[in-house]
Every structure is written in C-alpha cells, then in structure tokens.
Amino acid sequence: MSEVKSVTNNISAPLKYNINFRAAQAPVYQSEADAFIKEQEKARKNAKKQQNLNTGIQIAILAMLAGSLAFMAKQSGLFKKFNLEFKNLAKEKSLSEIALPQSQIEAADRIINRIEHHDEIMKKGAREGTAILFYGPPGTGKNTFAYAIAKKFSNAKFVEMDISKMNSKWHGESEQNVLGTMQAIIKDANKNPDQKYFVFIDEIDSVMMQDVGANAKLSQDILNAFKKGFNDLTNKENIIVMGATNLKINPELAKMEGKVLDSAMLDRFAQKVLVDLPTKSQIKESVSKFYQNPQRTMVDDTVKNINDPRWDKIAEFLSNKHHETSFRKLTNILGTAGEDAKIGQKVTFDDIIRAIKSHQQNLNATDAEIQTLVNSLIK
C-alpha cells in the first residue's frame, strides 16, 4: 500500500515573511444625476462666497461715502444750530436824539401806533403783519432809525439778519440758512408772546433783486425760500419786520440803474419809508447834537454855537445833493476835525475847514467849490 503524505506539516510550517493585508476599498460609482447635483452644490457655495465678498465691498464703499458726506455737511454748516443774537438797544440813540425830517417823524409815529394798537387797527381793515421797508442812499441812518423805533418799546428784542453771510457754495444751504434763522425767530417769539420782536434785514435787496444772469435759478430759489420765511414772520402779531435797501424802489428809476427789485416782494411791505440825504436844517441839528456831548470839552464855544453864521454856510454847502453828504460822511468830517486839531488846543472853525478839504474827493467837490466855501467863511 502506498504511503499517504500528510499536508498538515506544510500548513503549520512557519512562513518566511510576515505579510499585512489592507482591506481594499471598493470604488463608488456615481450616476450622472449625482454628479450634476454635486457640481451645482459646489457652484452655489462659490456664488455665496462671491456674494459675501461683494456685500463686504459695498458696505465698505457706503461707509466711506457716508463719512465723506458727513464731513462735507459738517464743513458746509448743515448741522449748525441757529442761535439768535439780540442787539443791546441801550447804547443806541432814541428818536429824540436823531435829526429827523418831518416825513420820518410822521412815519415813526405811524409805525409805533400800528404796533401799540395792532388789534384795533386790524379791525379797521389794515393789512395783516407789520413790515416796513426803509430805502434811500447809503449812510443816511436807516439802521439808526430802526434801532430808535424799537427802543420805544421796553419789551423789545432786536435781531439783525445779515443775508450776505447766509450765502453758501453748498447746494440748498443758502435757502436753509435763511429759513432756519427765520424759524428760530418764530420759535422764540412763540415762547415769549408778550415781547415785541424787531427783525431788521439790512441790504435786503440781496434776496429781492431780479436776476436774469447765470445765477438766476439760484437767486430764484433763495428768493422763494425768503418769501416763505417772510410770510411766516409777518403772520406773527408780535414780530415786526424791517428791511433796508440802498436801491431805488421806483421801477422806472431802478431800470435805469439796472437793479430792479422783485415787485411781488415789494408789495409785501405795507409801509415804505424814504430815508434820504439830510437837509440843511438836519445837518445843523445833527452838528448841534454831536457837540452837545458832555465829553467833547476840547471844542471851541464858537464851534458849539450852531447859530454862528459859518454853520449856515457849511450846512448849505454840505446839503447840496451833488455832494451826497450822508450822516455818516458828516460824522467823519467832524471826527477828522477833532483828530487834526493841535494837541492841547480846542477844535476851531479852521479845523472844520481843513476836515472838509480832506474829504473833498468823497464829497465830489471841485477845487473851485471848496475855495468858494473857504472865502465865504473868512470874516
């Protein structure tokens, strides 16, 4: 019988090498639908990232713009508060201290009467609101006249609006400045109904003049804003609006000078008062009041004597319309006389004559006119 060989010895025999087997991963096969969905998801994630990036950039740009606009607005004054400054009338002249012609005395009486008896006058059919326009050459005392009228009232608050300072290079700010100031006045007047508010607008023609030039649209915008604010002011019983202009209000004369005021705006003033160059008697009265000041002790008695014949001749010379002698010019002449008088000596008529000569050009006076005046003053 043949020998059968056992295979167990072969199986149990030690192997020459140790071998570690790693489990093989079976490949995952995707359908076309799965691949498409995965691609779409990836595209959505990329789009979201780009959107977030764009949003961040937009927010940064908007923040920069907001900062720039805020800076520009701050620089332009758009955020400013409209604080009112009231004039101290205690230092201003009263009506009795001003050399006024009869026409201005009567005008002052009408204005004061209207303010004091407003309710009664309204019942008689007077126009609503108190608005007065003072017009006439420069330096004739329009401001002083307005101060003096307001000073008649112990409960007066006087505010001056300087339109020239309200103009701005920023679009819309000029209108905002005008309306903002007017609304601030109304707000204050509402809080104090027992007080009289005098609103004085000097050089009011800066917002009343018709403009047909390159700035016509801008001027019209400011004018419209001013009209609205003006109407709001005059609707208040305790607000008195006073305007002043050096321009002619007669349309024909204004056209000759090429400076025409807006007719609709002119009609808003119930009273228009001419404050003209002083007459001979006004000049003498003004000189008398000037030298009645107790502080002016260094002035000769002959100069203080307004009845001296020389003052008649000087006043007649200065009152000539050709010389356009305003109260301001007269005060300057008298002031120059005091400055030129020798130290330690009183002001004499010689000093007055020298002062007039030094203002010759400002008085539009010829050498012949000055010499004629000097000859007439020689005793």
Per-residue pLDDT of the chain (379 residues; tens, 9 = 90+): 444 444 444 444 454 555 554 545 555 555 666 666 777 777 777 777 777 777 777 777 776 766 655 545 444 444 456 778 899 999 999 999 999 999 999 999 999 999 999 889 888 888 878 999 999 999 999 999 999 999 999 999 999 987 766 655 455 667 788 888 899 999 999 999 999 999 999 888 877 776 544 444 446 777 888 888 899 999 999 999 999 999 888 877 777 777 788 888 888 998 999 999 999 999 999 999 999 999 999 999 999 999 999 999 999 999 999 999 999 999 999 999 999 999 999 999 999 999 999 999 999 999 999 999 999 988 6
Contact 85, 157 (CB under 8 A): no
Domain ends where: 242, 258, 274?
274
Same domain flag for 249 and 292: no
Q: Which 8-state DSSP code applies to residue 89?
A: G
Rounded distance between C-alpha atoms, residue 326 and residue 330, angstroms: 6
SS3 label, residue 19: coil
Query: What distance in Å separates the CA atoms of residue 364 and residue 321, rounded to the nearest whole number?
Result: 10
Separation in Å, CA 131 to CA 81, 232, 265, 266: 26, 12, 11, 10
* 193 plus 145 within the same structural domain: yes
- Which pairing describes strands 130-135 and 239-245: parallel, antiparallel, or unpaired? parallel
Domain of 316? 280-377
Which residue's entry shows tokens 């007669």? 250
Beta strand pairing status for 271-274 and 196-202?
unpaired
106 and 212 fall within a common domain: yes
Asked if 233 contacts 184 with a C-beta cutoff of 8 angstroms, the reply is no
Q: 274, 306, 336 — which closes off a domain?
A: 274
Tokens linked to 132: 């007065």
**Which residue among 251, 274, 297 closes a domain?**
274
For residue 28, is it within any domain?
Answer: no
- Give the Cα separation of 99 and 325 in Å (integer): 14
- Quick one: 194 and 306 in the same domain? no
Identify whether 60 is part of a domain.
Answer: no
Residues 325, 149: Cα–Cα separation, whole Å: 24
| Number of domains the chain is built from | 2
Q: What do you get for the CA distance between the two ends of the chain, in Å?
A: 188
Task: Look at residue 140 and tell me if it is in a domain.
Answer: yes
